[in-house]
Amino acid sequence: MDHGSTQVNNHANQANLEASGIANMNLGQGEGVYISTYGCQMNVNDSERMLALLEMVNFVPVENPEQASLIIINSCSVREKPVHKVHSEVGRYRELKEKNPRLRIGVAGCVAQQEKQKLLKDVPVLDFVFGTDSIDQLPDIISRTYASKEKVVAARFENEKPYSVETLIRRPGVASFVNIMKGCDNFCTFCVVPFTRGRERSRNLQELINDIRSLIKRGTKEVTLLGQNVNSYRSDCGADFAKLLQTLAEDTDIQRIRYTTSHPKDFNQELVDISQKYRSKICDYIHLPAQSGNTEMLARMNRGYTREEYLDKVRMIRAGIPGVVLSTDIIVGFPGETEEQFADTVSLCEKVRYDNIYSFKYSPRPFTKAARFADQISEVEKQRRLQVLIDVQREISFDLAKEYDGIEIEVLLEATTDTEGQLQGRTTQNKLVFLQAPESLIGATVAANVVKAYPSVLRAELVSVVGQQSPGSLQ
């Protein structure tokens, strides 16, 4: 990859940095920075922001930690497993530090936010720890660790100021992700996110629209709006999520709009109507995490809806947006979950017939209510329930895939693949598609025939170009 040579095309941010003196720093001296990223799309976006900031102060992104003078692990703490991974990854870098005295190692993200200085104490090889609200301080943090080998912690939540942040993406793709809000106030009893991402804050509508317009100028055709609960978006000007979708659809040239994650309690008829009205732009795919199919479990999870209410929302969505594809998140083995209650979850999945389920074994998390519930389920039983659910879903996914065989689909072509001459793209239903096509068609929308449909990917043949990309707009 051609690193280092690309300038971050973000003038306002550059101006901010210049005002703070950071842009003139030569902190990196052309040396390498390596970032490894765990967790959700928020973290992926945050890592991209870190790289953009670090390129401005002359670090060069590298693919291999051995080539780096700066290593950052952007951590996730949503379950225990990714937390373990952070610790074992840091362990592997101990030796590198002995070889390269300039090497600085830090942890960012949700584990950093959760553990703060304790992480520095527990893992002496670390030089700095910074939380989810401290990313823009990164150049300053790095400068301090290089200046004096001082260990730095920056993990305060910025809850007073309005949430104003410009999307920093070094090379925007055909499909780009944009944060519309941060934090979460829902406090589901299993979830650590409200503790690691702080209180809910939305970005101003106009700022967001301008931000997306500048991505479109740089080649973006599809935008995915990101938030822990996008349905509770509310701009300081009063605009809600439906208004945001409408403004994006009407006032910008974006071709496709996606969003994640929706909360079933807040998904309403107005949103269905907007999706219907702007169907040519708003994608036919909704991720609607159920977590459980049992009303009592849902109450203990503090989800704010019953099984019946969830099923009503599914009916409402399907009635308003025919052909919409749904996916979900499920937790198995939540404390106290009986065999019958688990059976309700299986039956919910059979009833809804999601295209895809992301299923997880319940994992007790720090600060959360459910971690203190007495009736925890054994690991063996959680594993068994997970396998039951996976097996049930596999059949459903295979069945649903058959419906795609031989049909014509519309694909937005996003990128090349490892296979010569093959491109990849997505349908509006978020199906990944592989097809043979010239690279010049990246950014174009094409019609294609499905040759073979698998649950996670469609193989297709190009039929014709429906909408052409603007030439040379991609960086």
Is 160 strand, coil or helix?
coil
Nearer to ligand SAH, 79 or 221 (CB): 79
Residue 360 engages ligand SAH in binding (rule: CB under 6 A)? yes
Residue 363 touches which of ligand SAH, ligand SF4, ligand F3S, none (Cβ within 5-8 Å per kind): ligand SAH
Nearer to ligand F3S, 85 or 218 (CB): 85
Q: DSSP code of 90?
A: H
Q: How far apart are CA 42 and CA 74, in angstroms?
A: 11
Site string for ligand SAH, 313-352 (x = CB under 6 A): ----------------x-x---------------------
Residue 363 engages ligand SAH in binding (rule: CB under 6 A)? yes
Residue 194 touches which of ligand SAH, ligand SF4, ligand F3S, none (Cβ within 5-8 Å per kind): ligand SF4
Q: How far apart are CA 123 and CA 91, in angstroms?
A: 9
Is 444 strand, coil or helix?
coil
Q: How far apart are CA 192 and CA 208, in angstroms?
A: 27
Query: How would you class 235 by CB atoms within 10 Å of its CB: exposed for 0-12, middle for 13-18, buried for 19 or more?
Result: buried
Q: How far apart are CA 14 and CA 10, in angstroms?
A: 6
Q: Is 215 in contact with 176 (CB distance < 8 Å)? A: yes
Q: How many helices (H) and strands (E) does the chain have?
A: 14, 19
Nearer to ligand SF4, 232 or 424 (CB): 232
Least Cβ distance, residue 226 to ligand SAH (angstroms) = 10
Nearer to ligand SF4, 263 or 361 (CB): 263
Residue 179 touches which of ligand F3S, ligand SF4, ligand SAH, none (Cβ within 5-8 Å per kind): none
Site string for ligand SAH, 80-99 (x = CB under 6 A): --------------------
> How far from the centroid of its chain's Cα atoms is residue 131's Cα?
17
Peptide linkage before 261 cis (omega within 30 of 0): yes
Site string for ligand SAH, 192-231 (x = CB under 6 A): -x----------------------------------xx--
Distances (CA, A) of 104 to 61, 107, 142, 149, 416: 14, 10, 8, 9, 34
Residue 298 touches which of ligand SF4, ligand F3S, ligand SAH, none (Cβ within 5-8 Å per kind): none
Least Cβ distance, residue 327 to ligand F3S (angstroms) = 16
- Beta pairing partners, 123: none
User: Which residue's C-beta sits nearest to ligand F3S?
Assistant: 39
Residue 78 engages ligand SAH in binding (rule: CB under 6 A)? yes
Least Cβ distance, residue 75 to ligand F3S (angstroms) = 7
Query: How many CB atoms are closer than 10 A to CB 98?
Result: 9
Q: Is 467 in contact with 445 (CB distance < 8 Å)? A: yes
Residues that bind ligand SAH (CB under 6 A): 78-79, 190-191, 193, 228-229, 261, 263, 289, 291, 329, 331, 360, 362-363, 365
